[in-house]
Amino acid sequence: MGSDPETVTFRGSDSSEYLRRLPKAELHLHLEGSVTPSILRELSLKYQTKYHSLSEEELNQQLFQYQDFYAFLESYQIVCEHLREPADYLKVLDRLGEYFREENIGYAEIIYTPAVPWKFERDGKEILIALLEKTRELESTQGTMIRWILDCVRQFGPESAQRTAELAEEFQDRGVVGLGLGGDENSLEMKVFKEIFAWARAHRLFLHVHAGEIGGPQQVWDALLILGANRIGHGIQAARDSKLVDYLRQHTVGLDVCLTSNLKTGAWTPISENPFGLLFQRGVPVSLNTDDPGLFQTCLTEEFEKAVRFFHLNQEEVHRIVLQGVHSSFLPHKEKMVLMKRFQEEIHRLSA
């Protein structure tokens, strides 16, 4: 790839500032995972949970550091238990609105998991309606285009997944573009969800499947061949299977790569050995994402900075990855081309 990271300059600009000002698309962004220590502390005080007496630093040390992927899931569950009504979710979305503005994120696909409030006997549909109304406000006031993916939780089983699929279809004309499958790859087999995802595909929903994060390459094959995934969340383990890498390239299946996430959950460490660089070199469509910016305390500019530093990306390669975010999005072709033109014009102005 490009030159040594110590010598990278982007047309005379400070590279960090240049990366921050670049237009960006974020395709793998969990709403629940966007809860910061500050927001969790506010919610803990609101509901007087056992964490309400902790400072932000204490919360950070106790809940925002993870020994492995399953420790991360435990913290994720604790965060979700504090999201109890639409106002709580809107607080998180408000913060994301600020984040989009700070990071110059022109397009975002946010993942919301209605199965979480359903699990606690709360109204997941009411929360979605509130989120979609707030989305329209954010789009009109700051220009970030936002679409939604409703995620099924793998370990919750097919009944919950079917309910999620039906909710996604119901709100398809109001900003929901896809059905996702997340959760623990080592729980239920993907074939359990085959009919549900076939139903979603028949109803013109895009399919987004978490696979190949902590599970092996076969998880990615199953996501593609059993569920018909249009895009893979993470997918880094695909690098262990050369035939799979060729398939992803030939069929232009995008991978949402999340470097800091992989580091902090132990899915792949260190970052310098993450398969991102190999996958990019082999022509697999890869985008950069934060996954859970609150829980991992990162931002999209930092993800690009790490990619430049550890994989020696030059300016042209950075631009290719930025535009891949638009290519891999779940927008209709016409809207995608309009967004692509907008991004290309912004990049040209920055680079001139």
pLDDT of residue 1: 59
Answer for the pair 255, 279: CB distance below 8 angstroms, yes or no: yes
pLDDT of residue 10: 59
CATH number at residue 45: 3.20.20.140
pLDDT of residue 12: 46
The residue segments making up the domain with residue 304 are: 5-351
Answer for the pair 322, 280: CB distance below 8 angstroms, yes or no: no
pLDDT of residue 39: 98
Answer for the pair 222, 191: CB distance below 8 angstroms, yes or no: yes
pLDDT of residue 13: 53
Nearest to 107 by CA among 36, 35, 175, 184: 175
Alpha helical stretches, state H, the chain: 15-21, 37-47, 56-63, 69-81, 86-103, 115-119, 124-142, 158-170, 194-202, 217-225, 242-250, 259-265, 276-281, 293-296, 300-311, 315-327, 333-351
Contact residues for 230 (Cβ-Cβ < 8 A; gap 6+): 178, 206, 207, 208, 253, 330
Beta-carbon count within 10 A of 67 CB? 10
pLDDT of residue 9: 54
User: How far does Cα 205 stand from its chain's mean position?
Assistant: 17
Beta-carbon count within 10 A of 103 CB? 25
Residue linked to tokens 């132990």: 266
Mean pLDDT for back-to-back runs of 10 residues, the chain (352 residues): 49 79 98 98 97 96 96 97 98 98 98 97 98 96 96 98 98 98 96 98 98 98 98 98 98 98 98 98 98 98 98 97 98 98 97 86
pLDDT of residue 189: 97
Q: Which residues are catalytic?
A: 213
User: Domains in the chain: how many in total?
Assistant: 1
The pTM of the full predicted model, rounded to 2 decimals, is 0.95
d(CA 29, CA 296): 11
